[in-house]
Chain A
Amino acid sequence: MGKISNEELLQNLVDKFGDKISQLGDPYGLLTIETTREELISVLSYLKTEQQFIHLTDITAIHYPELAKPFGVIYHIHSLAKGIRIRVKVFLAADDVHIPTAVELWDGANWMERETYDFFGVIFDGHPDLRRILNVDDMTVFPMRREFPLEDPNRIDKKDYFFGR
């Protein structure tokens, strides 16, 4: 199996999925596509089985509060055989942050999805054990969401009165 270019891979995906995927560009040569929650698993399993994207590099999320669908879930996938990477994005509405799990495709998705849940509160439906992985268990917020302040509220030595303000 030879190498494949971004254009060929995108053409294959468009032939297969039509208007259910859209290209978001290829910054730094990294092909980026967007799809919907309903089509995500079929896109990912097509990439894994037909295009040999056997290596799931990372799952993460992003929060753009100003967008209609503020939560983006991002999959970085790598085809070692074809020497190419791809980025798959799905955007979700704020009142319905659910997405199907990718654990069936890659076992490595387990901890990555737990981490994404831990920091962004994205709920991966069908995940075998979706609980916090890095933060303290009794944390009640999802700290990477924009509405949550980064600084610790208990910090006292940065209060204004120490600086005459």
Chain B
Amino acid sequence: MSDIQIVEAPPGVEGSGFFATKLDEAVGLARSYSLWPLPFATSCCGIEFMATMGSHYDLSRFGAERLSFSPRQADLLMVMGTIAKKMAPVLRQVYLQMAEPRWVMAVGACASSGGIFDTYSVLQGIDEIIPVDVYVPGCPPRPEAIIDGFMNIQKLVQTESGRRREDPKYQELLAKYGIL
């Protein structure tokens, strides 16, 4: 028998025939369990992601069944692998094409910091060009680590305001990267 668990409702006021809660929390709850990831896989971390999507680890259990290979429909950009400096404008373009709300996860040492590739031709972490929400350490990270990073993204999605793009702090962050 399958043991189906349903997510807890956010805190709110309950009465006979109605339930009232904050819109932000309801929206955050819905968003966090239907994130569409865009896998930007350039090397071995991408292989670990394939294992993460496979039946054994099965990222779809977390509501991320539907991968988006177009940035226009994606919510979460998962950058997995070494980003060469020649690839940097491509990655930035992909990020710019994503619609708000959007989150970014740097999977593995290379995407987070350049990893072992401390050299003139490799970007020393994708946070040089785009803002990053969650870093997953590892070279490459195990699928469990990628899932842990994904669950941290879910926590972010649940707890931040429904319209993050109107938050002055967020706008300041984007302006720092020259993104408006």
Contact = CB atoms under 8 A, between A and B. Distances in A.
B148 interface: no
Interface residues of B, number: 11
Interface string A126-145: 00000000111000010100
Interface of B: 85-86, 113-114, 118-122, 124, 128
Interface of A: 134-136, 141, 143, 148-152, 154-158
Query: Which of A135, A148, A152, A155 has the most chain B CB atoms closer than 10 A to its own CB?
Result: A152
18 contacts: A134-B86, A135-B86, A135-B121, A136-B86, A143-B120, A149-B120, A150-B119, A150-B120, A151-B118, A152-B114, A152-B118, A152-B122, A152-B124, A154-B128, A155-B113, A155-B118, A156-B124, A158-B118
Contacts of A135: 85-86, 121
Interface of B is mostly: loop
B83 to A, nearest CB: 12
A143 B114 CA distance: 18
Contact of B114 (A134, A148, A155): A155
Interface of A is mostly: loop
B28 to A, nearest CB: 32
B40 to A, nearest CB: 19
Given A135-B86, A136-B86, A155 B124 contact: yes
Contacts of A143: 120-121
Closest 10 CB pairs between A and B? A143-B120, A155-B124, A154-B124, A151-B118, A152-B124, A136-B85, A136-B86, A157-B113, A155-B118, A152-B120
Nearest to B88: A136
Given A136-B85, A155-B114, 12 more contacts: A135-B85, A136-B86, A141-B120, A143-B120, A143-B121, A148-B120, A149-B120, A151-B118, A151-B119, A152-B119, A152-B122, A155-B113
